[in-house]
Chains A and B, each alone.
Chain A
Amino acid sequence: MITVKYFASLKEIAKKEEDQFQLGNSASFEQLCQAISQTSPTLGDMVREKKVMVSVNMDVVQPDTIIQDGDEVALLPPFSGGLA
């Protein structure tokens, strides 16, 4: 089971804070996109098209990363911390 967290604008698209998917011991990014598309095809496409960053276990990763069972994945829209 992997957990996928959604933040900020992506949480509003997903209409939820997180999902849990059963993807087996190791899964490709495309498998992850397909799972996310079950919640929102728009979000799945955004990940495929690299419009959002993806972190695995709190480190930003590249699209060739293999997702392991138990991983915490997060979809991260562009950051905007700091001052106004």
Chain B
Amino acid sequence: MKWLYCPHSQAALHENTFMSTATESKVRIQREDFVVTDEIEMMKRVSQNIGGIVTFLGTGRELSKGENISKLDFEHYPQMAEKKLEELRVEAIERFKIIDMSIVHRIGEIDIGENIVLIVACGEHRAEAFKACEWAIAELKRTTPIWKRETTSNGDVWVSATP
């Protein structure tokens, strides 16, 4: 049995907790898919001063470095990954003066075309939300202990870095 660290509720959530719809937690790592519009609606409720929302959605791509990928598998360091995402979220809010941000990242097996990661940046205006969202996905890939294994026709390979 595995438990997930949940910084916002200060509670441990069971990994298998059904969370395919948005919850109040603004940083989540989960096996289940998420609904993009639910995640955006959750963030719209944060403040009536939100005037611009920028989202980044990462999805499973079929071709990587010339190889056809049939499946992706994401592994994370429980608790540390959630901690890093929360630190990232807080820094994005402070650095870019946005109103709020949410981050959802899936783990486990993910098929081609499925959702992997979603970042929702909410600002009073669009400029800071665009900047915060772009910074956040780059920072996520640099600092968050999540690893991807690709299944190709030549076997399985752990990806050491992504562009």
Q: Which of A5, A9, A77, A83 contacts B116 (CB 8 A)?
A: A83
Contacts of B80 in A (CB 8 A): 55, 58, 74
Contact A8 B149 (CB under 8 A): yes
B interface residues, how many (CB within 8 angstroms) = 35
Whether, in the assembled complex, B95 has its beta carbon less than 8 Å from a beta carbon of chain A, the answer is no
- CB pair A82–B137 under 8 Å, yes or no, is yes
Min CB distance, B66 to chain A, in Å? 14
Closest to B115 in A: A83
A82 and B58 contact, Cβ closer than 8 Å, known pairs A7-B147, A58-B83 = yes
Contact A81 B161 (CB under 8 A): no
- Judged by a CB distance under 8 angstroms, whether A4 is at the interface is no
Chain B residues in 8 Å Cβ range of A12: 158
Cα of A83 to Cα of B106 in the assembled complex, Å: 10
Contact of B79 with A8 in the complex, beta carbons under 8 Å:
no
Separation in Å of the A74 CB from the closest CB of chain B? 6
